[in-house]
Structure 1
Amino acid sequence: MDPLTQIQVIRCRASIITAERSLKKARYHRSPLTNDERNEALICRAFHIGQQFRDISADPFANWHHPLAGKLSESFQFGQGGQHVSAA
């Protein structure tokens, strides 16, 4: 992976981590969020990251040790303009 792609992958992952921290703070300071609401917010954030980084060649969430890595990866690909492929 070239250095530019590595930097973009790090920025994408950092954005999700920042969103997670913000959601945790919101849980304590404002109305409490359920885990499903928090997960949906992170998945939406991954979609917007995909729109922002349409030219990135690597999937930043593919080999990431995160509980939502698969869903984040799928949402990121949708944001890049990818199509959903379901197993029939």
Structure 2
Amino acid sequence: MSQITLRQIPENVDALIRQLSKEQKQSINKTIIELLEKALGVSQDSNKKRNLSQLAGTWSDRESEEFKKNTAQFDKIDWEIWENENLH
């Protein structure tokens, strides 16, 4: 296998790579190779689903309550409209 040396990696990219490496509990080298494979469409695991766990539970209690309050109207049924629509 060949080696490539990268220079002048932007700080934000470096930080994201290191964070991803730590989250996946693998070396920075392996993380970068996986990122390159995915970007080039040659990933070994091309059927792997996206991990959305980082999005789970990201609302605060206040945001959750506000969402419930603002969407409560969608739980209400206007029986008069519903019954009239079903008569046709």
What range is the shorter-chain TM-score in?
A: under 0.3
Specify which structure has the bigger relative contact order, considering alpha-carbon pairs within 8 angstroms and separated by 6 or more residues. Answer: 1
TM-score (norm 2): 0.27
Query: Highest Rg: 1 or 2?
Result: 2
